[in-house]
Amino acid sequence: MLGTYVLSAGYYDAYYRKAQRVRRLIQKDFFDAFRTADCLLMPTAPTTAFRFGEKTEDPLQMYLSDVYTVSANLAGIPAISIPFGSDKQDLPIGVQLLGKQFDEVTMLRVADYLEGQAP
């Protein structure tokens, strides 16, 4: 509902248009990167996994755990998170693979290969 209000209350230029410009810049950066790469490998989260129920009292920390996954959504490109080993406490480490727009097949093939190579 907030989005509808912003668009109808005369804030179109102040918010929506600026957000769309930023989104286009993010898309351009990814499209430029995909000129020389088929996929990009990135961390899924800034830390390794936390134990079940560990951060339920701190919603900000839980939100920040997802911060690296937002760029794919903003750029409109496919992404997949896969387990890739574990840390010293035997908690899983996740990586995400980002693919070219409309090229999910390549991304999924690379993800399958990487998951098979995980330590």
The angle at the Cα of 87, spanning 67 to 59, to the nearest 5 degrees, equals 35
Residue 36: what pLDDT?
96
State yes or no: pLDDT of 5 exceeds 70. no
CA dihedral of residues 24, 30, 36, 38 (deg, nearest 10): -130
Centroid of chain to Cα 8: 30
User: Residue 27 in contact with residue 34, Cβ under 8 Å?
Assistant: no
Q: How many angstroms separate the Cα of 10 from the Cα of each of 13, 17, 22, 36? A: 8, 12, 20, 42
Q: Where are the domains of the chain?
A: 1-33, 37-117
Q: How many angstroms separate the Cα of 8 from the Cα of each of 5, 75, 117? A: 5, 25, 51
State yes or no: pLDDT of 46 exceeds 90. no
Q: Which amino acid, one-letter code, is at 9?
A: A
Q: Is the pTM of this model over 0.85?
A: no
pLDDT band at 109 (very low <50, low <70, confident <90, very high): very high
